[in-house]
Amino acid sequence: MSTAVLNTVGPSSLSRVASTSIFQLIPAPTIQRVIRKTSFKRVLATPITRFSTKQSTRLAPLCQKLITQVTGLTLENDEEDFRIALDFVSRNLEHATATKGGPSSDMATMDRRFHGFLEKSRIQSNDTLAEALEISYRKVKDSAKKLTNIDGDIKLAHLPDHLQLLALLSAAPAESTLKHADAYIEAIRNPPEPPPSLTWKDILAEEPFEGQHWEGVYDLPSGSTVEGWENTSDGSTPSLSPWDDDSDDLDDNDSLPCTEDAPSSPSPVERVSSYGQPNLSLSYQHRRVVEELQARQYWREEWRTDADLSRPFNLGDASTLGPSLSRALGERTTLLIDGPEREKYINEHDAVREVLMCLQGRKNLMITSNPRFPSLMRPSPSAPRLAHLTLASQTSILSSFAQLASTVSHIRKFTSTVFSNVFSTSDPPLSSMHLLSHNTRSQTIEAFADAVDSQLQKFDRWCADKEERICCAHAGLGNRLVVSLLGLEKDVRDAFSVTFDLLLAILRELMGYVMQSDNTSDEEVWLLASLSSRVPPAAVTAHLLDTCLRSVEEQSSLGNNIAAEALIEVFVRSAQPVWAMVGRWVGDGMPVRDTWEASDNQTLDEEFFIEDHELPLMDPDFWADGYVLRTWSDFEAPTGDMKALSVPVFLERIADRILETGKAVGLLRVLGIPLLDGADSDVHWPSLATLIGQHKRDASDPEGLAHLIFDKIAPYYTSSGSQLTQVLTEDCDLSRHIAAIEGLYLMTRGDIIGHFADVLFAKASVLSIPMNSQQHWQDFHFLNSAFRDVVDANNATKYIETSLVRLSYRGSKATVIAQTVKALDGLLVEYAVPFLLAYIFTPRVFSIYGSIFAFLLQIRRAKNVLERILVRGEIRSGRHMKHELKVFYAMRGKLSWFINTLLNFLTTHVLYSQLAIFHENFKRAESLDEMIKIHNDHLDTIQRGCLLHPETSALHRAVLSALDMCLHFSNIFVSFSGDNTHDISQLSIVMKRHRSRRQRRIRRDVIGFSTPEIISDDESDDDDNHDETVGNAPEPSFSLAASVTSYEGDLPDHLDKLSSELDDVVRFVRRGSEAWAGSMSRAAPAFGALAFALEDWDS
Amino acid sequence: MSSKEADRISAAQQTLDTLYEISQLLNTQLDKETLATCVGMIESGVNPEALAAVIQELRREAAAVQNAHSDVR
């Protein structure tokens, strides 16, 4: 009896040994037999009695469940066998349970056992299995650690038992096992992303493991529970085991690599179920998404439009136009046009996107670059077609875009070239062809490129925005859009007008200017950045800015505000470098160099329109020529454009002011005078954009811009100017020096110069006799000491500092003062002015002053000579002389009248009136430059009035010949009457003199020997034919030598001739002055007075 | 359900899941329900060795019955 046999097995043996011993007693066929032989009723009765204990009652349902699950037997389908099996299970298990007080398996044992499994797997080359096992083993230990609740469904203490059960039931790995291990490892390595909504809460909500009752879970019969199972296990095993330590031991001892952490997915069960086989529905979804996306990829070869291309032409359906026409054309084979079947059609909104890409300079389907001229764009020959456009109309529309794209690409290339040049540190090699070439790299071009680039960015942004809106609308977001190529063209035009065409035109024009050629329409404008040119950078800068501004003006006058605004933006940014230079110039003043250390001095930028001539500060020409507005040098200037200024137009009007301001500021800085008083010293030089931004209304047109800039410069100008003027007038004693200079050169202090002249002429007369001469009248020491003596004698030292004056003679010693007044031309008067005043009284100015002085002295000389002739009745008692004396008297009267009229004219109408005007103007001068200008104008007027200007040289020569006539007349008279002159200088300074016939004879001989040959009568006759235009007038023929040698014999004739020549001269001067009186020069009124005075000659 | 309760159940469920994975890797040929039953039994104090023996015996019996049935047919 099997039951008996089973019962005979002692509890002690069961608990001691493995249960295999039990089953060794009951082999399977035996059980089978037992089951078969046992009567139903008996078997049924027996287990009931056996399951009388409490534990049995609790185990019974589990046993029944186990049997069903393992064997498939149920109470319903095979009650007898089921009960036999139940009896068998119950009894064996009950026994084992009842006796379970002995040693249970612990965690350390299980560790070892699993370690064995792992090793075994590895030996069998099932590494994946080993790895999976290791991971899952560690994982179960980890998860078991959470089983702290002693009331839990699974208790930590029972884990070794569970594992032992599995170990006992384990079999050799089958193929499916290995596959499972692979899938498991794979799932760990690539854990599927858990759906975000899936939480433990959801899982538990789906599978409600409520309380300790796993009711309805794992196919437990409805209503059955595992109620009270935790109580059963209470005390059966210690709730605390050396679990943790053991697990650590395992980890420590375990030399196996552990590369992957256990997946922390909240739902391992689900993953296990899903990694086995691919999720077909998911992959189908993915595929569908891919298909959908591909269906939108119109650029793919296999993409086909959804429009039916084979439909015949229908007037009401635009999409039939293109295919129909191309079909019709395709029939004619010579045209080589593919029919609609072979052409690709895309939708217009896609075409618009493509065009937008093209405009942003990207690769696209519709427009490509011309293979021969890569910078030129054209509609791509292989461009997909649009169904509602014919080939020609599509090409035409695309061509206009292509043109825009070419323009933009040109500009893009230019900006990128400039930028790359900026970033490249190496300087481009100098052209060896000519050293005069300049590099066109300039700040302004860079700024221009930057400004253009910002316009391009704006354009790109606009295109991208457009594209985005199309995409959004396509995806059903945002507003509905109507998209078309023509619409895009209009939008571009509305948004940007012809801005880019104009920018390119500006670049082209600049390129032409730099290359100095007119034919640059096809030039590659981006080369501009690295060209070498003969055009100086400042001219390039000015030209660029001018072209920009001109474009702005043109566009705003055309009413094209969009382009005008864009261009003014470009202009303002391009002009910023020059503006900043102006700011530095005006704020800091000119860079002043020390004469001796020229090497490390800062110089002005080559782009700046002010040029540094590198003169030292102490040079009197420094102010006028040290810094000037830059002009083209002679060999640089293009033909027909000589001396073109390199000033940008918007600064042209105030360029002079800027120049003056900078110079004044620099000079003040050199003088150590702070430019601006406290309030203005922190005046910030704003950028041009800021300035224009602040005065938007004023700067809307170039005119306003110029005014704005003028206002900006004004404070610097007035402040520096007034300070400098103050320095000049107060520190440099300007007015005193002017008075002295006028007194000296213009003889406004008549007494001093009058006396000096007397002394001088007396000396000159005396020295005509060489034997008496101790000192020549030209002698340097005589001149200076005489002058000093005169000044001292007249107590005029406070007016004229004699130490500042130096007289010298530079003329030819061969000219004799007794014969010609031209000998006085060589007399040089120098006046030393202080440092700053030297900028006003430059050597040129002094040379003019000197020439005026000499001229006045010459007149005085003639007057002096005439005054010394005393024609008196009692001189010659002889009656025969009376007639001659009358002639002499008349002649002297004529000469005196002319000389006096002339002198009166010069002193009163020219000098006195002009000086009054000058002083009036000079007081109002606000800056050094203004002073210089007023003074120069003044001097110019005087020079013209004194007939010393090159234009009046004919008149001047005529007057000089009249003066020489006086000398000549004097000589004739002396030789006629002996020494019978009256020296007027004797009135002022007593000088001893001797006159005798011998002396007279000697003098005459001297004259005779040195006289040049007689000038022919032909020339004299020409005098009558004097042209009215004074400038062309031939030199009056009179010369002192004309008849000197021959007057001895026929004195009356000679005097007659002298008289007629004087007549000619006077008339000539009168005609000339009349002509000048009608001119526009400032000296015209004075000439009018002269002409009026000379009218009396004939009356 | 309190959160503590939920934790307890989830820990038990997790352990059970992992045990099932191990059982598959060891090729024990236990399905999840059977494993749950076994776990329940062991938790009730059943000796795992005895249980393993019983299961294997039941399997053998079931196989024999299966064979007998096929022989009869």
HEC sequence for A1022-1052: HHHHCCCCHHHCCCCCCCCCCCHHHCCCCHH
Question: Searching chain B, which residue's CA lies closest to the CA of residue A154?
Answer: B12
- Residue A47: per-residue pLDDT: 42
CA of B65 to nearest chain A CA: how many angstroms apart? 8
CA distance A464 to chain B (A): 53
Confidence of residue A457 (pLDDT cuts 50, 70, 90): very high
CB atoms under 10 Å from CB of A89, counted, come to: 28
Tell me which residue has tokens 């008196």: A872
**Cβ distance of A26 and B57 shorter than 8 Å:** yes
φ/ψ of residue A570, rounded to 5 = -60, -45
Q: What is the pLDDT of residues A905-954, one digit of tens each?
A: 888 888 888 899 899 988 888 888 888 889 998 888 888 888 888 888 88
* Cβ–Cβ below 8 Å for A93 and B51: yes
- Taking only the tens place, the pLDDT of each residue in A311-352 is 888 888 888 888 888 888 776 655 555 556 677 888 888 899
Among all chains, which residue has been given the structure tokens 């002094």?
A846
Q: Give A615-640 pLDDT, tens digit per residue.
A: 777 777 888 888 888 876 655 555 54
Question: Does the structure show a pLDDT above 60 at A682?
Answer: no
Strand partners, A385: A345
Q: What is the mean pLDDT of residues A594-599?
A: 52
Sign of the alpha-carbon torsion through A566, A568, A574, A577: negative
- pLDDT at residue A705, rounded to an integer: 80
pLDDT at A458: 93
CB contact under 8 A, B53 and A20: yes
CA distance A141 to chain B (A): 8
> What beta strand segments (E) does A525-574 contain?
532-533
Give pLDDT, residue A465: 92
How far apart CA A230 and CA A211 sit, in angstroms, is 12
Contacts made by residues A952-955, CB under 8 angstroms, sequence distance 24+: A952/A1030, A952/A1072, A952/A1076, A954/A1030, A954/A1031, A954/A1032, A954/A1033, A954/A1034, A954/A1035, A954/A1072, A955/A1030, A955/A1033, A955/A1068, A955/A1069, A955/A1072, A955/A1073, A955/A1076
A977-990 residue pLDDT tens: 665 444 443 333 33
Dihedral sign from CA coordinates of A665, A667, A668, A670? positive
Residue labelled with tokens 């900043």: A580
More confident site: A12 or A775: A775
Across the range B35-44, mean pLDDT stands at 86
Stronger pLDDT, B16 or A996, i.e. the higher one: B16
In B, minimum Cα distance to A16 occurs at: B49
Is A163 close to B22, i.e. CB distance below 8 A? yes
Give the residue ranges of DSSP H helices in A173-279: 175-189, 200-206, 229-233, 243-253, 268-275
Burial of A511 (0-12, 13-18, 19+ CB in 10 A): buried
pLDDT of residue A33: 41
Residues 6+ apart with CB under 8 A from A697: A704
How much is the pLDDT for A23?
Answer: 39
Please indicate whether, in this complex, the C-beta atoms of A96 and B50 are within 8 angstroms of each other: yes
A14–B50 CB contact, under 8 Å? yes
- The rounded percent of chain A whose pLDDT value lies above 90 is 4
Residue of B nearest to A214 (CA): B9
pLDDT of residue A314: 84
Q: Do B59 and A70 touch (CB under 8 A)?
A: yes
pLDDT of residue A246: 42
- Rounded to whole angstroms, the Cα distance separating A281 from A285 reads 6
Q: Are A388 and A319 in contact (CB under 8 A)?
A: yes
- Distant-in-sequence, close-in-space partners of A91: CB < 8 Å, separation ≥ 6: A3, A6, A47, A50
| pLDDT computed for residue A983 by the predictor | 44
Q: Give the nearest partner residue to A139 out of B18, B30, B37, using CB atoms.
A: B18
Mean pLDDT of A68-95: 81
Closest-CA distance of chain B to residue A294, Å = 42
Q: Which residues pair with A807 in a beta bridge?
A: A829
Q: Tell me, what's the pLDDT at A1024?
A: 37
What angle separates helix B32-43 from helix B48-72, to the nearest 10 degrees? 140
Q: In this complex, do B22 and A147 lie within 8 Å of one another by their Cβ atoms? A: no
Q: What is the DSSP letter of A217?
A: G
* Distance from the B26 Cα atom to the nearest Cα atom in chain A, whole angstroms: 5
Least Cα separation, residue B7 to chain A (angstroms): 9
Please report, for residues A54, A391, A850, A1007, the alpha-carbon distance to residue A330 in angstroms, rounded to integers and kept in the order given.
98, 12, 97, 115
Beta bridge partners of A368: A378
> Looking at per-residue confidence, does A217 or A675 come out higher?
A675
Q: How far apart are CA A382 and CA A367, in angstroms?
A: 9
* Cβ contacts of A74 on chain B, cutoff 8 Å: none
pLDDT at A212 over 80: no
B62: nearest CB among A70, A133, A143: A70
Subunit contact B54:A28, Cβ cutoff 8 A = no
Q: Could you tell me which chain B residue has the CA closest to the CA of A267? A: B14
Closest by Cα among A607, A645, A613 to A629: A645
A257-271, A594-608, A828-842, range with greatest mean pLDDT: A828-842
Flag whether pLDDT at A243 surpasses 60: no
Residue with tokens 């009179």: A1038
pLDDT at A1019: 37
> What angle is formed at CA A18 by the lines to CA A12 and CA A20, rounded to 5 degrees?
115
Residue among B39, B45, B65 whose CB faces A232 most closely: B45
CB contact under 8 A, A28 and B64: yes
Cross-chain Cβ contact B42/A180 below 8 Å? no
Distance from CA of A221 to the nearest CA of B (A): 12
Residues of B in contact with A23 (CB under 8 A): 53, 56-57
A963 DSSP assignment: H
The most confident of the ranges A58-72, A283-297, A324-338, A1028-1042 is A283-297
Q: Is residue B71 within 8 angstroms of chain A, CB to CB?
A: no
Q: Is the pLDDT of residue B14 over 90?
A: no
Range of lowest pLDDT (A198-212, A224-238, A399-413): A224-238
User: Is the pLDDT reported for residue A462 higher than 70?
Assistant: yes
- Poorest-confidence range of A126-135, A163-172, A656-665, A1019-1028? A1019-1028
Q: What DSSP string describes A830-887?
A: EEPPPTGGGGTS-HHHHHHHHHHHHHHHHHHHHHHHHHHB---TTT---TTHHHHHHH
User: How many angstroms separate the CA of residue B63 from the nearest CA in chain A?
Assistant: 8
User: Given this model, what pLDDT does residue A456 score?
Assistant: 93
B67 in contact with A, Cβ within 8 Å = no
Residue of A nearest to B68 (CA): A32
CA distance A363 to chain B (A): 56
Among the ranges given (A47-56, A349-358, B41-50), the one the predictor scored with the smallest mean pLDDT: A47-56
Average pLDDT, chain A: 73
* Residues of chain B neighbouring A70 (CB-CB closer than 8 A): 34, 55, 58-59, 62
Would the CB atoms of B10 and A210 count as touching at under 8 Å?
no
Question: How does residue A34 score in pLDDT terms, banded at 50, 70 and 90?
Answer: very low
Which B-chain residues 26-65 have CB contacts (< 8 A) with chain A?
Answer: 26-34, 36-62, 64-65
pLDDT band at A521 (very low <50, low <70, confident <90, very high): low
Q: What is the mean pLDDT of residues B57-61?
A: 86
This model of the complex carries an ipTM of 0.90
Angle between helices A127-145 and A175-189 (to 10 degrees): 60
Interchain pair A171, B43: CB under 8 A: no
* Chain-chain contact of B26 with A31 (C-beta, under 8 angstroms): no
CB spacing of A140 vs B18 below 8 angstroms? yes
The residue among A869 and A22 whose pLDDT is bigger is: A869
In chain B, residues with a C-beta closer than 8 Å to the C-beta of A158 are 42-43
Q: Report the pLDDT value the prediction gives residue A273, as an integer from 0 to 100.
A: 45
* Res A450: pLDDT: 92
Q: Do A171 and B29 lie within an 8 Å CB cutoff? A: yes
With an 8 Å Cβ cutoff, are A23 and B21 in contact? no
Cβ–Cβ gap B18/A129 under 8 Å: no
Model confidence at A460: pLDDT above 90? yes
Q: Give the pairing of strands A377-379 and A367-369.
A: antiparallel
Q: Report d(CA A93, CA A876) in Å as an integer.
A: 188
Q: Given 3-state DSSP classes, what are the helix, strand and coil percentages for chain A, each rounded to the nearest 5? A: 65, 5, 35
Contact A162 B39 (CB under 8 A): yes
Rg of the Cα atoms in chain B:
17
Most confident of the following: A417-426, A434-443, A597-606: A417-426
Computed over its alpha carbons, how large is the radius of gyration of chain A? 61
User: Does A899 or A58 have the greater pLDDT score?
Assistant: A899
Number of A/B CB contacts below 8 angstroms equals 245
- CA–CA gap between residue A80 and residue A976 (Å, rounded): 191
A453 has a pLDDT exceeding 90: yes
Is A169 close to B55, i.e. CB distance below 8 A?
A: yes
**Alpha carbons A302 and A452: distance in angstroms, whole number:** 41
Residue A501 one-letter amino acid: D
Cβ contacts of A188 on chain B, cutoff 8 Å: none
Question: How far B70 CA lies from chain A's nearest CA (Å)?
Answer: 16
Which helix (DSSP H) or strand (DSSP E) does residue A809 occupy?
strand A805-809
Least confidently predicted of A113-127, A370-384, A548-562: A370-384
In angstroms, rounded to a whole number, what is the distance separating the alpha carbons of residues A315 and A200?
65
Is A152–B51 a contact, with Cβ atoms under 8 angstroms apart?
Answer: no
DSSP 8-state assignment for residue A626: I
Q: Rounded to a whole number, what is the distance in Å from the CA of A106 to chain B's nearest CA?
A: 12
Q: Which one has a higher pLDDT value, A814 or A113?
A: A113
**A377: three-class secondary structure by DSSP:** strand
pLDDT at A638: 53
A800 has a pLDDT exceeding 50 = yes
Q: Is-contact A380 A367, C-beta < 8 A?
A: yes
Between CA A1041 and CA A1035 the distance in angstroms is 15
